[in-house]
Chains A and B, each alone.
Chain A
């Protein structure tokens, strides 16, 4: 796919642009400059990067200190080690102290596939949702990714950005405008609403295209803002059908599936919800992306099958 881009490259370009525009931005990494793809930044600004070594707690604490001293601190490391190892630094030094730190969770979800569960972050959204006052975003395509990053750099305060680890193609044209909090309707249909976030939005879009050929008409909603989130806007989209599916490369507990379930309950939306993702108590398998997604039914064919089953049961129950 020629228009595919790796999110970390987009991130680094946003950092370079920010510094060129006068933002006192300091990236902090934990040994792995390659995970962060930060070389072009270092080439442009040789003395800006801070590398704390393999020490994620220090990564986040140092970023908080830099932020307290007036810098825009951005941490760039693998999401699993950010979320799990530096959990209390995120909670206390970043969230509770409300410091101007932007946490980039790189290669999130099961992006690290065969490297197995220590390298998967399938709990990052639920963990971040449990903390106060941190914005939570999960871009799905290059244009959206860039706009989210520009937004979080410009806005004072903590943010977590869930970054997928593979190059992903565009979903939007050049007129696209990211608005924090707003879910976006990518496909409009009447029979099922599929909500997704991050890289699996592409699976949902592909599923809707396959279903369309079968004469089945489904909506796809991209929920790239988890906090803030315009619940009324999402409720309106969910209320269009009797069948809702949430899709995420994340545990179904505490992530998008929970967000959708909460909104349905709070807004009195009566529909059947199927939450697709890593099941309760499970782990993502160690394997490549197609394999892992197939196991979890979060690939396009898995989503198609679930839609078909939902509509089938509707006919049987009618």
Chain B
């Protein structure tokens, strides 16, 4: 059971609150951050933690809990804000993001942060490990589901496609891959750096059940994730998103991959993200 089970409207409020946290967290970071990547995934991670995942802060040792893996580890800021909002660790930790010896380093470290399930940051690791977790759940007849969020640029790593073969081969229908498809990567558009399209056809060819959603629309994310079936095939959800979603001057701008809001930008962003 998810302890929150929020309705769509409440999830939208949560998503805004997470976004405000993301702005403040990055503004406070002494070592930059990945603001665009953090904002891109907000609806997906918020829907998971506040409605979908069978997981709770007091059940982190329950081996039937669902697992979420943040494979795009550089968007750890967005992940932390969601985990804090959901009570996995004190919100007071957020201003220490990337400070010396913080509980919240610049990529996920499970030994440091309650709720983090896998150390990532080198792209292309989440899916193979998720395959192992899903396989174990099958063997143990566990109800566990394994969710893994990747970037779209990240899909150039061959390890994803090697793992995809394994997932289909072992019929891991308890595995849900979500691609945060914002069409941008570090240096520019995926179209110009390394094309992944047509992505749906690739996943289909690899034996996945493919669905798409509007990844920055909570209702669409929830409907899609709740509509997934376990019918002998692994699932992939191509979440069409906008990198930097929610803040007009960050959205769709590649330079915000590795930028943090400064000075007036902080207030401007928070204003755009206010609840009224």
A128 at the interface (CB under 8 A from B): no
Closest B residue to A288 by beta carbon equals B100
- Interface residue stretch chosen among A108-116, A179-187, A234-242: A108-116
From A55, A119, A288, A291, B157 is in contact (CB under 8 Å) with A55
Mark out the residues of chain A between 111 and 143 whose CB falls within 8 Å of any chain B CB in the assembled complex: 112-119
Contact flags (1/0) for A1-37 with B, using CB distance below 8 Å? 0000000000000000000000000000001111000
Residues of A contacting B100 in the complex (Cβ-Cβ under 8 angstroms)? 114, 285-288, 291
Residues of A contacting B185 in the complex (Cβ-Cβ under 8 angstroms)? 31, 53-54
What's the least CB distance linking A186 to chain B, in Å? Answer: 30
Residues of A contacting B101 in the complex (Cβ-Cβ under 8 angstroms)? 285-287, 291
B273 at the interface (CB under 8 A from A): no
**How far does the alpha carbon of A31 sit from the alpha carbon of B123 in the complex, in Å?**
12
Mark out the residues of chain A between 151 and 201 whose CB falls within 8 Å of any chain B CB in the assembled complex: none
From B120, B153, B158, A118 is in contact (CB under 8 Å) with B120
Residues of B contacting A51 in the complex (Cβ-Cβ under 8 angstroms)? 187, 193-194
Known: A52-B194, A55-B158, A119-B107. A33 touches B187 (CB 8 A): yes
Known: A31-B185, A32-B187, A288-B31. A116 touches B121 (CB 8 A): yes
B124 at the interface (CB under 8 A from A): yes
Residues of B contacting A80 in the complex (Cβ-Cβ under 8 angstroms)? 122
What's the least CB distance linking B179 to chain A, in Å? Answer: 14
Interface of A is mostly: helix
Contact flags (1/0) for B170-187 with A, using CB distance below 8 Å? 000000000000000111
Residues of A contacting B121 in the complex (Cβ-Cβ under 8 angstroms)? 115-119
**How far does the alpha carbon of A34 sit from the alpha carbon of B185 in the complex, in Å?**
12
**How far does the alpha carbon of A115 sit from the alpha carbon of B99 in the complex, in Å?**
10
Q: Are A54 and B30 in contact (CB under 8 A)?
A: no
Q: Are A31 and B186 in contact (CB under 8 A)?
A: yes
A57 at the interface (CB under 8 A from B): yes
Q: Are B158 and A115 in contact (CB under 8 A)?
A: no
Q: Are B153 and A53 in contact (CB under 8 A)?
A: yes
Interface range on chain A (Cβ under 8 Å from partner): 20 to 34
Closest A residue to B152 by beta carbon equals A54
A297 at the interface (CB under 8 A from B): no
Closest A residue to B156 by beta carbon equals A53
Q: Are B194 and A115 in contact (CB under 8 A)?
A: no
**How far does the alpha carbon of A269 sit from the alpha carbon of B186 in the complex, in Å?**
50
Q: Are A115 and B157 in contact (CB under 8 A)?
A: no
Q: Are A114 and B186 in contact (CB under 8 A)?
A: no
A311 at the interface (CB under 8 A from B): no
**How far does the alpha carbon of A58 sit from the alpha carbon of B30 in the complex, in Å?**
33
From B109, B153, B156, A117 is in contact (CB under 8 Å) with B109
Mark out the residues of chain A between 276 and 311 whose CB falls within 8 Å of any chain B CB in the assembled complex: 285-288, 291
Known: A55-B157, A85-B122, A291-B100. A286 touches B109 (CB 8 A): yes
**How far does the alpha carbon of A32 sit from the alpha carbon of B193 in the complex, in Å?**
10
Q: Are B187 and A114 in contact (CB under 8 A)?
A: no
From A57, A84, A285, B122 is in contact (CB under 8 Å) with A84
What's the least CB distance linking B184 to chain A, in Å? Answer: 11
A81 at the interface (CB under 8 A from B): yes
Q: Are A117 and B30 in contact (CB under 8 A)?
A: no
What's the least CB distance linking B97 to chain A, in Å? Answer: 9
From B107, B158, B187, A31 is in contact (CB under 8 Å) with B187
**How far does the alpha carbon of A57 sit from the alpha carbon of B119 in the complex, in Å?**
21
Residues of B contacting A32 in the complex (Cβ-Cβ under 8 angstroms)? 186-187
B105 at the interface (CB under 8 A from A): yes
Residues of A contacting B106 in the complex (Cβ-Cβ under 8 angstroms)? 112, 114-116, 119, 286
From A33, A57, A84, A112, B158 is in contact (CB under 8 Å) with A57
Residues of A contacting B122 in the complex (Cβ-Cβ under 8 angstroms)? 80-81, 84-85, 118-119
Leading 3 A-B pairs by shortest Cβ distance: A53-B194, A118-B121, A53-B156
Contact sample, A vs B, 24 pairs, CB 8 Å cutoff: A31-B156, A31-B186, A34-B186, A53-B153, A53-B193, A54-B153, A57-B158, A58-B156, A81-B122, A114-B30, A114-B98, A114-B100, A114-B106, A115-B31, A115-B107, A116-B105, A117-B119, A117-B121, A118-B107, A118-B120, A286-B102, A287-B99, A287-B100, A288-B31
Q: Which residues of A contact B (CB under 8 A)?
A: 31-34, 51-58, 80-81, 84-85, 112-119, 285-288, 291
Further pairs besides A52-B194, A113-B31, A286-B100: 12, Cβ < 8 Å:
A31-B193, A54-B185, A55-B156, A55-B157, A58-B158, A85-B122, A118-B107, A118-B120, A119-B121, A119-B122, A286-B101, A286-B105
